[in-house]
Structure 1
């Protein structure tokens, strides 16, 4: 059940400053490394200085996992390949590659002369080491999401020569190169990876245009220019070291403070313009809007327990929620509504016709609830069945995965569903508890919002993956997992 198109990334800069615009979003591969040097130095171009950037959410770890960490990772780590806005795969650390006729063997030629920030060599052997970590079952190997994408396809990853990488697959995987272009697969220094998960989270070491100097938790990440940078992706217009000396990546969770920092000149660019400031921002600043690919923010209805184990109740909930109105009111036109909860509007495989699957129809909702046996009513209008209230505990990470504007959407949906007799209880939990899995067991909720940033429909392998060998796929909070999916 779609709420709105997720991760509408917005960054804005004042007209008074000549610092380059920072574009954040689905194709953030070269956001800061290209933005700080987005064109060959022309006469009068400024060099040096610091970009002061205001971000909304602070990740629990600077390495991979959540997209908010991925934004930062793009500044300090390089990938094998890059992806253009129109979906083409182009060189990055790999200068070129060949694919066997049976689509099972990929051979990459690695760019010579590249070193990590710690001075160690970035060669094929170092990349093999990264693959071994991505495919590991060790819970201390921080980035475990890589295995979700490629684990079942990899037969072997070897380095037949110092600058030759060979990857053999168990069966063809069409989006393989696209997946390798995502932030999950940024290459880090093997020496740094050996230092343990804590240091890896706080001070990861890559080969990108900037290196992590310090992470002042709750305040900022200090990124310094890599003077030896020589491995920009083919998507970048500037191939050398960044023009600026560094970036102060500030965490400004409060909407008023974040937008105010731009207005008063304390920030050169910010992410996530508050809805209340959207119209003002468009008049005063340069606004860049980008809808990331993958799945939009959507509600996952828990099909493993009542009441959403009954498809009639699930459909009733969809019919009674006037989702587009909720999005329009809460976001004041700053983001588009996406009625197709399967894929983001910007994902190539997105089907517009699915957006009309469940139009607002309260009569249908009430009829379905009657058919499902929820015919009783309490004094406050909540439906009952066998003496039980029609309660929906809607669990979400407060001030984290859902912004304050997003919470307004949930509150509006709460009121809309109440009109048909649903008792929707909003249950925010702290970000730290959310990522630790606390309070998110199968019996702890009836619904929860989710999103996942990805390049194309390979995201289905994450969001709809069945439980395997007794291990619950926490990314499939709907618990809906028929074998044919």
Structure 2
């Protein structure tokens, strides 16, 4: 076994265990040292953060990233990831990996309990893995299996605080994947409840506990006074400074920003583009570009007209995407031409940053070559009596913000100049997540994003259909064997240079075939009142973190 001793957790400066058996004189002698630090900590204590968020998830446990933002507050993971990509301790204080990269042994932090009093030990973590790997549709977190299901051979607890995981084959992103919100550890006692109760009231071991979910209004998170398992990325160890969080759902961007201006919110998510400059002057603003895939248009290659690569490329050329993003977001969010990976993903191929520049003449030539030469009275191209219609579905007021809808509307107008009839079709959030109206024959394009720490997301986005089961995450329906071969080889390669080359080749296949058309990355922005300090954004999938936050007195 190759020990990763450099991954041992080091105590934070000024924080440690103090023996209660020390004499009074010793305590008095240390008083001058301890008191200032303790006083400083006490000055940070108290208050409730009123946080205005945009989207309300359908479930508080895993799944969509908007649920992951909340889960980051109430659950801990085995490991954490720094902004420079290093894997560091969290619930696992140390770990070792076998020479063949098939066996992982984790040492679990002692003395940790879940909010319901259940002990967090290796056996509890095994129960979580069993749930992630289950075929039971009531287990809720189906995304866990998407990431690790085919790789896990066994998960056992040989000792109370020792977790052993054996893989069926090497999986290079394994530790990175375990740092994501999909793999937050929940109480095995709470996991025994039904899916509805788990969605409503998940139980973790994090700095805050879910107290109440008032649907359509807010989630009440209460401080965990016994918290002792912060990750190595945290600014302090021990319980949160504030007493709790009122996680408000304020869908309307004007209302959300207005609540901050009026002092009704202490912090808000997703600053509207129109208020970006004002927020920079009046509030503390932090921003992070998520990794994974950007918001991109997935073109349905399984049906006309996008079954023809010439039409797909024409669509990419006819849209002045960079300008649409700049106008809609007023400079607050960057353009992301490479639709395969977000610009913040470490493996993002910069060579594709200028793919499909605005070129309407080229778009028109491609459409002519593809046989779309006739025009209807309203200027829409036709072929064999059929209009060049593109039904563009999107989750209205959910996955796509109002500023994002503005991008789609601009693209709609631009594409019409080349003869495309783009029909924008918003779908309610509940129907979107239920898959209603999103069958293969129901759309020609749909925008989506998927956050992830690295290029392992390609495995989720482009997995081909297997055993007659459609990969719903591959809305482009683009699945050439050579693409999947590149992705699989990259996932099991531990040579950094070789893996990067394979991921880059995979991106070229995706972009060259115009299976997706890049627009903009999911960008997390938080604006907060000047007195609220030390909110930070996690590097995993850009979740806001409130464990270190405090009100300046």
Is the pair's TM-score, using the shorter chain for normalization, greater than 0.5?
Answer: yes
- 1:329-350 deviation line (CA, Å, top 9, x unaligned): 1111111111111111111111
Alignment of 1:12-411 (within 5 A): 42=40, 45-411=43-409
**Cα offset, 1:286, TM superposition:** 1.0
What CA deviation, in whole Å up to 9, does each residue of 1:14-64 have, x standing for no partner? Answer: xxxxxxxxxxxxxxxxxxxxxxxxx98737733111001000000000000
Distance 2:307 2:258 in 1: 46
User: Aligned to 1:425, which of 423, 426, 438?
Assistant: 423
CA distance in structure 1 between the aligned counterparts of 2:307 and 2:38, rounded to whole angstroms: 58
Structure showing greater radius of gyration is 2
Q: Give the secondary structure class of the aligned counterpart of 2:481.
A: coil
CA distance in structure 2 between the aligned counterparts of 1:185 and 1:330, rounded to whole angstroms: 35
Cross-structure match for 1:453: 451
Cα gap change, 1:289 to 1:469, in 2 (>3 Å): same
Distance 1:225 1:42 in 2: 19
Q: Which runs of 5+ in 1 are unaligned?
A: 1-38
Conserved 8 A contact 1:95-1:110: yes
User: Which whole-Å deviations, capped at 9, do the CAs of 1:293-319 have from their partners, x for residues lacking one?
Assistant: 001100000000000000000000000
Q: Secondary structure at the match of 2:197?
A: helix
Structure 2, unaligned runs of 5 or more:
1-36, 484-553
Query: 2:351 & 2:322 partners in 1: Cα distance?
Result: 15
CA distance in 1, matches of 2:168, 2:43: 50
- Once the 2 structures are TM-superposed, how far is the Cα of residue 483 of structure 1 from its aligned partner? 1.2
Using the alignment, how far apart are the partners of 2:184 and 2:482 within structure 1? 32
- Whether the 8 Å contact between 1:40 and 1:238 is mirrored in structure 2 is no
Deviations 1:122-164 (A, max 9, x none): 1101100100110111111100101111111100000011110
Give the corresponding residue for 1:8.
Answer: none
The Cα offsets for residues 225-251 of structure 1, whole Å up to 9 and x where unpaired, read as 001101111111211011110000000
For residues 95 and 348 of structure 1, the distance between their equivalents in structure 2, rounded to whole angstroms, comes to 26
| Cα shift readout 1:394-445 (whole Å, capped 9, x = no counterpart) | 0000000000000000000000000000000000000000000000000000
Which of 456, 463, 466 pairs up with 2:464?
A: 466
RMSD, matched Cα: 1.0
Q: Is the 8 A contact 1:40 1:237 kept in 2?
A: no
C-alpha distance in 1 between matches for 2:112 and 2:43: 27
Aligned length: 447
Q: Are residues 376 and 219 of structure 1, via their aligned partners in 2, closer, same or farther at CA, if it must alter by over 3 Å?
A: same
Moved over 2 A (4+): 39-46
Question: What SS class does the counterpart of residue 232 from structure 2 fall into?
Answer: coil
The Cα shift of 1:283 comes to 1.2
| SS in structure 2 of the partner of residue 140 of structure 1 | helix
Normalising by the residue count of structure 2, what TM-score does the alignment of the two structures yield? 0.80
The whole-number CA distance in structure 2 between the counterparts of 1:466 and 1:142 is: 23
Shift in alpha-carbon separation, 1:119–1:302, aligned structure 2, 3 A: same
SS of alignment partner, residue 314 of structure 1: helix
